[in-house]
Amino acid sequence: MKGHSAIINKKIEAVVEIGPNYIFHLMAVARVGFNSEYADIYHESVKSLDITYLQSQKEQLSFLFGHGGDLVGLIINLPAYFCLNNQTAFSQYFKILEDGYTQRNFGRWFEYYEKNLKDLIIWFGVDDFNAYLTDWLIQIYSGYREIISKIAEIIDRNFENYIKQVWPIEIEKLNATALQINEYFGEKNIISEWEFLTGRIFKSDHYQIVLSSAIKNGPNANSLGYDRVVFHHDRPFEYTTQLISHEIGTHILIDIFNEIKKLDIYEYDLLYATYECLAKFYNCKILEIEITAYDIKHQNASRIRNIFHSIYNRAPSISPHELLICGLDTFLKE
């Protein structure tokens, strides 16, 4: 795929932000869903009672491989996507949500975060985004209002410690990795290569890699939205760059995944794994490699990969949509 020239080079950019790092810092120190030495290093930066409370909500705050606890979206993903980078921003986020639930009207929240939410419409793939999100917010608050309030207090209470004790140390590591990633992708047109190979358009003029130093052994390559994804800053460089390209592919292909999911024909875990395998299949062609430094964590990943190769070799002009469905059907028949 090398040598394809793009008219518009859509930028891949590694960014370093306080907000996402702070949220994942709390999860890491409390060992919510993952465990690393980070928790031991910064244990004193979060109040012990707050650690205990976050641990008590572990099931609702953990996520992995396409699944997440009920509070992941509201407590982790949306604040990280909205780039809430100071104490006031976090407090305001939760206050507007609480007021919206009290009034059963989230209009002010939609207005305040209009630009961010507009960018999320592509990612969710639903017909009436505002209605969908309103129903979701009411459902979450109905079941977890008191818990959300307590976690909002924890976020507020420990922010100053993070800024003073943790951020000055971690930002240096993050900046060094960001520089390395940006230099690498600054010389490439990876997004245009994906567009050329798949015949599909990446629906943003940029793709941001939000670096976090807190998520070792945790949710690496976790998509926050169509144009933002969280990566751990300290993984092997080849692994990271290959996986970034893979994630761009999953985002270009997300419309196909959502369309097929709506058919309600295929079991979700199989559909999700096959969609990830399809992205990896195309990624190998774009990067011109046979074996990747990353794996798809599914027991049938190798089998699905072979199915894609067989189908594509017989019909190299097949569309990604057709290839995904054909791959699923072939797998189920074998």
114-130 residue pLDDT tens: 988 887 888 887 788 99
Amino acid at 169: I
More confident residue, 197 or 66: 197
What pLDDT is attached to residue 8?
Answer: 63
Higher pLDDT, 5 or 182: 182
- The length of the chain, given as a count of residues: 334
From the number of C-beta atoms within 10 Å of its C-beta (0-12, 13-18, 19+), residue 167 rates as: middle
Collect all residues with Cβ–Cβ distance below 8 Å to 303 and sequence separation of at least 6. Answer: 331, 334
Can you give the pLDDT at residue 5? 44
> Which residues are CB-neighbours of 245 under 8 A, at least 6 positions away?
190, 194, 283, 286, 287
Model's pTM, two decimal places?
Answer: 0.93
Q: How much is the average pLDDT of 273-280?
A: 97
Distance CA 117, CA 111 (A): 9
The first and second tokens of residue 291, run together, are 């074996």
Dump pLDDT digits (tens) for 45-93: 999 999 999 999 999 999 755 568 999 999 999 999 999 999 999 999 9
Give the whole-angstrom CA distance, residue 110 versus residue 6.
36
Rounded to whole angstroms, the Cα distance separating 9 from 11 reads 6
Residue type, 64: L
Helix axis angle, 254-263 to 268-287, nearest 10°: 160
Query: Across the chain, what does the average pLDDT equal?
Result: 94
Question: Is pLDDT of 4 > 90?
Answer: no
pLDDT at 1 (0 to 100): 57
